[in-house]
Amino acid sequence: MTQGCAVSHRQHGDAKPRRVRLQTLVRLRWLAVLGQLIAVLFVSLVLGFEMPFWPAVIVIALTAWLNVFLALRWRTGTRLEERHALALLAFDVIQLSVLLFLTGGLQNPFSILFLAPVTIAATTLTWQRTIVLGMLALAMITLLAFFHMPLPWWPDHPFELPKLYILGMWGALVSGIAFTAFYAHRIALESREMAEALKATELALARQQQLYALDGLAAAAAHELGTPLATIALVAKEMRRECPKCGDEGDSGVKEVDGRFCDDLDLIISQAERCRHILAQLADHTRGGDAMLARVKLRAMLEEIIEPVRGPDLDVRMVLQPDFDASGNPLPEPVLKRSPGIIYGLGNLVENACDFAESEVIITAEWNEEEIAVTIMDDGPGFPEDIMDRLGEPFVTTRGGYYRKEDIGEIDGELSPGMGLGFFIAKTLLERSGAQIGLANRPAPEHGAIVRVAWARQAIEAEEEASGSSVTQANGDGDTDGQTKPGAV
C-alpha cells in the first residue's frame, strides 16, 4: 500500500528534467535589451554624458541578434536542457559585465541586475549549475571592482566613489546573490516536491476508487449474461421434455437405454440454474451497492484494513472503546461514509506500523457523541525526535535506503523504497476528510510510535436510514441491537 502509486521524477537513463522554456528566456532578454537601450540613449542623448556609446550599442545588439537567431532556429515552445540554459544565462552575465565595464563598473547602480540571471538559475536549474553561474557572477563582480571605465558623468565634475564604498557594494552584491540564490532554490525545490507528491496522492486515490468501480462492471456483467443464460436454460428444458425415459421410445423412434443424454441435459439445466442464482445475487449486490458501499461500520472498515497485514509473526489487535450514555450503556457503533481516502490513509498508517513493529500493533477505535478517533500504536523504535516535526512533508522518511531527490525513479513500476511519500499521501488524504493527526512516542520504559487520527463525528458519519437491517447485512455484522461491546477483537 505504501508503494501503491508510481511517480516518475525522471525517466530511466541519462534524461534530465527540462524546466526552462526557450520562449521564457527570449522574452526576458528582449525586456533586458529594451531596458539597456533606453538607459544608454537616455544617458547619452538626454543627459549628455560622455560614454562609449557605440560599443555599448554593439554589446546590446549582440544580445538582440542572439535572440533573433534562437527564435528562428528553434520553436518557441522548446524546453532547454540544463547545460544549454546555463550557457544562455552565462552569456547574460558576461554581457551585463561588459556593459558595466563600459559604464563605471560597480559604481553603476544597475550592477544590482547581477541578481537576475542567478535567481533564474536557482529556480530552474540544479544547485550544482546554480553554483557555477554564481561563481561566474562573483568573478565578474570582483573584476569590475578594480577594472572599469569611468562612470558617465558631467565632464566638469568628475565623479569617483571611495574605495571603501566600492568594497561595500561588492560585499552587498555577493551576499545578495548567495542569499537570493539559496532562498529561490529552496522555494522552487519545495514547490516541485509538493506538486509531485500531490500528483502521487491523486494517483493513489484514483487507484483506490477504481476498486470500487468494479461493482459497476459486475452489474453490467450480470445484466449482459442474464439473457443468453436464460436462453440456454429454456432450450435445455425443452430438449429435456422431449427426451424419453430410460427404456422408452421417444418421438424420434430412438430408444435410449442408458439415459446418458437425459443426465447431460439435467446437468446443463442444474448448472444454468446455479449460474442464474449467482447472477441474481450479484445483481442484488450491485442494486444495493450504492447504499452498501456508501456505508460501513467502523469495526468492519478497520477489519478490512487490518486483514491484509495480519501474519503469524505479528500480533495485530483491534480494541473498541465506546463512550457511555447517561444510562451507562455503550454508545452505538458509528456507521461511516465509506471513503477510499480514509481507507487508503488508515491502511497506509497501519502498514507502516507493521513494518516497524517488533511483535504487536494495537489499533484502538474510540467514539463519543462528538468525535471518532482511531489510534495506531506499535512497539517499534518510535519516531526520531529530529524529524518528528517534519513527518508528513513529501520526501521525509525514517526508513533505510532513502534515495536522494535527483535519484528518484520507478523500479518495476513502483516507487523506490524509503521515499517518504507514503506518510505524506496518508496524511493528505486523511486531512482532506477532515481528520486531525497527532504523532507521539510511547512513554518510557515502553517504546514505539503512536499515531492518532480524529474526526468530528458529524463529518464522516453516514446519515441514518429508515431501516437498520440493510446496514447490518451490508457490513456482514450480526449485531441487531446496533450496539458494540467494548474490548479487544
Strand pairing report for 315-322 and 487-488: antiparallel
**Predicted pLDDT at 3:** 37
Q: How confident is the model at residue 132 (pLDDT cuts 50, 70, 90)?
A: very high
User: Is the pLDDT score of 233 beyond 70?
Assistant: yes
C-alpha distance across the termini of the chain, in Å: 23
User: Is the pLDDT score of 412 beyond 50?
Assistant: no
Highest mean pLDDT: which range of 237-246, 284-293, 403-412: 237-246
The overall longest dimension of the chain from CA atoms, in Å, is 136
Contact residues for 89 (Cβ-Cβ < 8 A; gap 6+): 25, 117, 120, 121, 133
How far is it, in rounded angstroms, from Cα 363 to Cα 488?
9
Mean pLDDT of the residues in the chain = 78
How far is it, in rounded angstroms, from Cα 30 to Cα 39?
14
What tens digit of pLDDT does each residue of 47-72 get?
A: 888 889 999 999 999 999 998 998 88
What tens digit of pLDDT does each residue of 310-319 get?
A: 888 889 999 9
Which of residues 90 and 193 earns the better pLDDT score? 90
User: Is the pLDDT score of 98 beyond 60?
Assistant: yes
User: Is the pLDDT score of 154 beyond 50?
Assistant: yes
**Predicted pLDDT at 230:** 80
For residues 254-275, average pLDDT:
71
Give the rounded percent of residues in the chain with a pLDDT score beyond 90. Answer: 33
**Predicted pLDDT at 367:** 94
State whether residue 410 is helix, strand or coil: strand
The predicted model scores a pTM of 0.50
What tens digit of pLDDT does each residue of 363-401 get?
A: 999 999 999 999 999 999 988 887 777 776 766 666 654
**Predicted pLDDT at 276:** 78
Q: How confident is the model at residue 211 (pLDDT cuts 50, 70, 90)?
A: low
Candidates 489, 459, 439; CA nearest to 371 is 459
Which cell goes with 372?
471518532
For residues 112-136, average pLDDT:
91
**Predicted pLDDT at 94:** 95
Which cell goes with 247?
427404456
User: Is the pLDDT score of 469 beyond 60?
Assistant: no
For residues 136-150, average pLDDT:
93
